Structure 1
Amino acid sequence: MDILKLRGISLFIIAFANLILALILWQEAKKNRANFWLALAALFSGFYAFFCGGTYFFWKSESMLSVYWYRTTWLGVLLLPPFVTFTYYFTQRIKNLKFKISLLYLGAIIISFLAFATTLFVKSVYLRYPHISSLAGPLDSWGRLFILLCVIIVLVNLLRDFFQSTGFKRLQLQYFILGVSIFAFTGIVSAGIIPILIKESPYYDFTAYSSFFWVGLTSYAIIKRKLFDIKVILTTLLVVIIAFLLLFNLLIFTEKLPLQIFKGIILASFLFLGPLLIRSVLREVEQREKLEVLTKTLEAANEKLKQLDKLKSEFLSFAAHQVKSPMTIVKGYATLIADGTLGEASKEVKETAEKIKNSADRLISLVNNLLDLRKIEEGRMEFNFEEKNLIEVVKSIVEELRPLAQDKKLELSFESKDNEIKVDLDVQKFSQVIQNLIDNAIKYTEKGWIRINVKCQMSNVKNKNEVLITVADSGRGISKELLEKLFEQFSRDASVKKEIQGTGLGLYIAKQIVLAHQGQIWAESEGEGEGSRFMVKLPFA
């Protein structure tokens, strides 16, 4: 294959690259008016490269067909008005645009017609190997000036908008300007200055080659701006290349009629199935874009919920602080009345004061839970660890709560074979855990017993000594469903919410405190009515 045919094939490839871009832009033309004009410019750019390739590939000396192939290259001026229009739409300068563009289109159509039908632009065509050149007609220079005017308008529009833009649009304009500048410089030199100086055009096809940079950089700018999905582009590119190769094989390398028919059927089948493939990929991309929009919407909603949750926590913290101080005072005065410190009071007054004190205790406990919850959520829970005798800590809590058990006629017992077990504790906070577990056992046990056991054992995992605290009762028991979410926030047994007061925060806070002690906490129960066991495991000091 000689150099002329190779140049023709290379120009055909450039043409198809332009046509691919035109197809991609056309798919998005409904969403963006500027894309329609850019697609039209890419389409004519593809035709121009195709006509340049045809001039080389089908060249025959002293053939009028070769002359007409060459003249068709002047149809390339038709790409200029739509590209100028694109720059006006892209830069949003569309005032009085119809009149300006009408003049450009009129000039491009007149030049194309005269160049193809007369000798005013191309007198003759001849081979100057390895180039095909022409002898310029009397209007050739005016055609070149028209091309130069359109290029200047394009660059002025893009540059003016470039200096006024920021962000992604400015980045996009950089690639547009670079691509157009390469295209314009090559065109001015090869199709402007040289033809004017030597009165012939041996390098006219260089402009078609340079359109590859315009196509490539424009495509990159589009992908960079994320207007299209690269998957659609690659699929379309693959389909067009395969179709081109099938067509090329049919026209050039197939001579026998039966084989031509067979390959023609294959080509027709592919031309039918190819668009279906592109459409399916496009549908997949559209679904993914919808999913991305939905994801972003959900993320925004989630962020708003987080802000609302934060406001809720801040409000609860503020309200808790405002309530705690006066309730502590109320509790203090009620205690003074109940124990007779303020003077002898009647039995009814003492009982009322005791009720006030108990209600104040419950409210203060609620406030403390809310404050602890806020600290845990914000990671502000502070611990002061000291080496303490766990037996003494647990035993003292049992004695403090014994009156509550006695009021309900419950048997409350403490058992441990050890007199001393040293553990690193924040005594105040860990006491809150044990107190919560025993208090719950008393609340949820109507009759029977509550047994607290502390023992040492060997860890199965780390092979180290650890201590196990068990709070067992003969009370209501725990259902399997509740057992799974027992240590979550606001988790309570729905069947006793009205009977037994509580917030559903105690066990959640207890778990966070135990975890801070590098320990474990869990619950066991055979079911409702079968009692329950709460276990806390801690490492030795």
Structure 2
Amino acid sequence: MIADLLHNVTALSFFEWGQGVVGLMLVLFGLVIFAQDVSKRRGRYFLYLALIIFAWAIANIALDAAPDPSVAHQSIVALFIIVEFVPLILFSFYYVFQKKGESVSWWRVIGVFAPYFGVLGALYFVPELIAGTPSVYQENSVGHTFGRFVGVYLGYIAVFLSLTLYVLIDKYRTSTGIFRLQTRNMIVAFGVGVVLALILAFMLFFFRALSVHNIFLIGFISIIPNVLIMGYTLIKYNFWSAYIIFAEFLTALLVMTLAAVLFIQTSFLGIFLVGTLTVLVTIAGFFLVQKIRKGDATHDEIARLSNELKSMSARLDILDKKKTEFLSMVSHHLRDPLTAIKGYSSMLLEGSFGELSSMVHDAVDKMFNSSSRLIMMISDFMDIANIESGDMKYFLTRVNMKKLVAEVVDDMQSATRTGGLELDLIIDDYHQEDYAVVADQGKMHQVILSIIDNSIKYTPYGSISVKLSLSENKKNVLFRITDTGIGMSEVTLQKIFKKFSRADGVNKTYTEGVGLGLYVAKKIIEKHQGRVWAESQGEGAGSSFFVEIPRAPEEKISVV
């Protein structure tokens, strides 16, 4: 009988063999899921379900290959016993899935398993009560008659499936967020299995092919999508790496396939070659999985650090905004009293309140100069606050740069003479309209004044040359300041236009600056669609600053 069974097994069709292959692949999938599940609770029940489906496939194959009614009857009894496990395992999986880490009481376990063992005992000791008797089998199973108590068996399955659906719906109603999505997928998996089973059963009934064999085949086909969706949900919402699971599954499949090929080898050479290949694939697969695990862990760490950086960046943006608001408020309140001090100092120096002695005059002059520097510094702070908050207003008009530069240079002559410096102005011979630009006149005056003042501060002796010309393509006005001052290193050139940045060692030469003037000038020029940069041959070799802005194409006035 066994020989006949094996002969019939080898003669099975591809579809009938496919059941076993699918069942085996589900077992491998279950093992991979079990290995990923740290708690081993849901993964354990998922593996149990995969093993039951594999046993289901083997029993289906045995029924297909049954050489006589006795073997067919034993296969059907086995199928009844195996299928009885499915609703039990499904209920257990979904119950554990719902309860997460909660422990399950023994009374509930006994209540769940007691009916199963009752039905199992009936199937084992008195199979004809449910599965029927061998005498009713013909050469095929179409005319098969079930036992008198098959309704109890079907009722048992229906009760457990109903309880499973109740557990899922209750979980869906009470859960939120990601747990609600998980439960939704589980309900979909359950529904897909039931709907598929009903459709297949109706089709077989319509074509009058609803035999006992086909009924079990319908159940087998219907449970597959259910298991796949369950596995997908476990992988996705437990944040397991799909790459690792795929690599582990593929490695296990290759090793098992090679092991099967090794088992049927009869020659020593075949055993040696296939055995060697199996060992090599096992080792390579192990290192591949470890490599993917390491890469996945690195990816997770990078993602975690990236999220932390984003969070820190968001907090820093908030702090920077609050800092800007505080800076603007403080600068505004400081400038008012300083403006009053500067105004009254100027009136005192002009003699508006009577003649001053030389000693008082010197003191008031120092007061006037100090308040002027403080007002300029506070203006820079306010400009930064307005630039960063986007509140800086630009009143654009047609500005004659030739006239504006000449005025600024003339105003700065007294400061350079006091310091023993020469300040020269060179303007290329073009018509004054050729130096017209569309700009905010006050802001451009501020930029030119700031850059010339910067050169005066860092030029202890020598000269400063201011040159106004057009660019080579005649499309831009080029403003250049060259001094014989302390010069700049390459490192300083890279940071000189950054906020609160000063050249290395300048504190020995000029102690009052904070590194804001050039930063503000750069932002203003960029808003005018121009550019500003600096050049230097090195420390002690002087510096050159350049400002380039587009020439005005036509008369225009606007506010931005």
Same structural fold, with TM-score higher than 0.5 when normalized by the shorter chain: yes
Q: Quote how far apart the aligned CAs of 1:202 are.
A: 4.4
Counterpart of 1:230 in structure 2 is 242
1:467–1:537 Cα contact (<8 Å) kept: yes
1:133–1:203 Cα contact (<8 Å) kept: no
SS at match of 1:61: coil
> What does the per-residue CA deviation read over 1:20-42, in whole Å, with 9 as the maximum and x for residues that have no partner?
44234313321x56533542443
Query: Structure 1: where are the runs of 5+ without partners?
Result: none
Q: 1:238 is matched by which residue type in structure 2?
A: L
1:151–1:184 Cα contact (<8 Å) kept: no
Counterpart of 2:215 in structure 1 is 203
Q: Quote how far apart the aligned CAs of 1:449 are.
A: 1.0
Q: 2:475 aligns with which of 450, 461, 465?
A: 465
Counterpart of 1:433 in structure 2 is 447
Instruction: Provide the identity percentage.
Output: 24
Q: Using the alignment, how far apart are the partners of 1:116 and 1:272 within structure 2?
A: 45
Q: Quote how far apart the aligned CAs of 1:323 are.
A: 1.2
Q: Quote how far apart the aligned CAs of 1:368 are.
A: 1.3
> What does the per-residue CA deviation read over 1:441-461, in whole Å, with 9 as the maximum and x for residues that have no partner?
1111111111111122423xx
CA distance 1:127–1:369, shift in 2 (3 Å): farther
Q: 2:34 is matched by which residue type in structure 1?
A: W
Q: Quote how far apart the aligned CAs of 1:394 are.
A: 0.4
SS at match of 2:215: coil
SS at match of 2:174: coil
Whether 2:490 is the aligned partner of 1:484: answer no
CA distance 1:385–1:296, shift in 2 (3 Å): same
SS at match of 1:446: coil
CA distance 1:97–1:364, shift in 2 (3 Å): farther
Counterpart of 1:405 in structure 2 is 416
1:78–1:109 Cα contact (<8 Å) kept: no
Counterpart of 1:446 in structure 2 is 460
Match runs of 1:263-302 below 5 Å: 263=274, 266-267=277-278, 269-271=280-282, 273-302=284-313
Q: 1:365 is matched by which residue type in structure 2?
A: M
> What does the per-residue CA deviation read over 1:246-300, in whole Å, with 9 as the maximum and x for residues that have no partner?
4565668x67675466445544554554454334323322332222122212211
Whether 2:427 is the aligned partner of 1:416: answer yes
> What does the per-residue CA deviation read over 1:167-201, in whole Å, with 9 as the maximum and x for residues that have no partner?
4433332321122123345668999xx9xxx9956
Counterpart of 2:110 in structure 1 is 102
Q: Using the alignment, how far apart are the partners of 2:377 and 2:88 within structure 1?
A: 76
CA distance 1:131–1:314, shift in 2 (3 Å): farther
CA distance 1:488–1:127, shift in 2 (3 Å): farther
Aligned residue-pair number: 530
CA distance 1:104–1:6, shift in 2 (3 Å): farther
> What does the per-residue CA deviation read over 1:210-231, in whole Å, with 9 as the maximum and x for residues that have no partner?
1111022223434553622222
1:451–1:471 Cα contact (<8 Å) kept: yes
2:49–2:89 Cα contact (<8 Å) kept: no
Q: 2:416 is matched by which residue type in structure 1?
A: A
Counterpart of 1:147 in structure 2 is 157
Whether 2:165 is the aligned partner of 1:158: answer no
SS at match of 1:433: helix
Match runs of 1:369-384 below 5 Å: 369-384=380-395
1:5–1:56 Cα contact (<8 Å) kept: no
2:142–2:212 Cα contact (<8 Å) kept: no
Q: Quote how far apart the aligned CAs of 1:496 are.
A: 2.1
Q: Using the alignment, how far apart are the partners of 1:144 and 1:299 within structure 2?
A: 57
Counterpart of 1:347 in structure 2 is 358
Which range is displaced more, 421-430 or 373-382? 373-382
Q: Using the alignment, how far apart are the partners of 1:71 and 1:405 within structure 2?
A: 111
1:485–1:491 Cα contact (<8 Å) kept: yes
Q: 2:254 aligns with which of 233, 242, 245?
A: 242
Q: Quote how far apart the aligned CAs of 1:469 are.
A: 1.4
Q: 1:538 aligns with which of 549, 553, 558?
A: 549
Whether 2:27 is the aligned partner of 1:19: answer yes
> What does the per-residue CA deviation read over 1:44-102, in whole Å, with 9 as the maximum and x for residues that have no partner?
44334433444256x23138666555444323433444432332333338586442233
Q: 1:209 is matched by which residue type in structure 2?
A: I
2:427–2:468 Cα contact (<8 Å) kept: yes
Whether 2:82 is the aligned partner of 1:75: answer yes
2:331–2:382 Cα contact (<8 Å) kept: yes
Q: Using the alignment, how far apart are the partners of 2:263 and 2:73 within structure 1?
A: 22
SS at match of 1:204: helix
CA distance 1:111–1:278, shift in 2 (3 Å): farther
2:463–2:484 Cα contact (<8 Å) kept: yes
Q: Using the alignment, how far apart are the partners of 1:466 and 1:72 within structure 2?
A: 93
> What does the per-residue CA deviation read over 1:403-435, in whole Å, with 9 as the maximum and x for residues that have no partner?
111111111111113351222221111111110
Whether 2:19 is the aligned partner of 1:7: answer no
Q: 2:127 is matched by which residue type in structure 1?
A: T
1:21–1:42 Cα contact (<8 Å) kept: no
Q: Using the alignment, how far apart are the partners of 1:164 and 1:437 within structure 2?
A: 68
TM-score by length of 1: 0.86
Counterpart of 1:50 in structure 2 is 57
Q: 1:360 aligns with which of 351, 363, 371?
A: 371
Q: Using the alignment, how far apart are the partners of 2:291 and 2:122 within structure 1?
A: 44
CA distance 1:129–1:245, shift in 2 (3 Å): farther
Q: Using the alignment, how far apart are the partners of 1:367 and 1:223 within structure 2?
A: 59
Q: 2:223 is matched by which residue type in structure 1?
A: S
Q: Using the alignment, how far apart are the partners of 1:325 and 1:540 within structure 2?
A: 37
SS at match of 2:127: coil
TM-score by length of 2: 0.84
CA distance 1:85–1:321, shift in 2 (3 Å): farther
Q: 1:217 aligns with which of 206, 218, 229?
A: 229
CA distance 1:454–1:130, shift in 2 (3 Å): farther
Which range is displaced more, 497-506 or 483-492? 497-506
Counterpart of 1:88 in structure 2 is 95
Q: 2:384 is matched by which residue type in structure 1?
A: L
Whether 2:336 is the aligned partner of 1:336: answer no
Q: RMSD over aligned Cα, in angstroms?
A: 3.4
> What does the per-residue CA deviation read over 1:483-520, in whole Å, with 9 as the maximum and x for residues that have no partner?
12111111102312254111211111111112222222
SS at match of 1:311: helix
Q: 2:18 is matched by which residue type in structure 1?
A: S
Q: 1:43 is matched by which residue type in structure 2?
A: A
CA distance 1:259–1:527, shift in 2 (3 Å): closer
Whether 2:317 is the aligned partner of 1:306: answer yes
Q: Quote how far apart the aligned CAs of 1:152 are.
A: 0.9
CA distance 1:138–1:264, shift in 2 (3 Å): farther
> What does the per-residue CA deviation read over 1:351-399, in whole Å, with 9 as the maximum and x for residues that have no partner?
2222222222222212211221122223333222222221110010011
SS at match of 2:99: coil
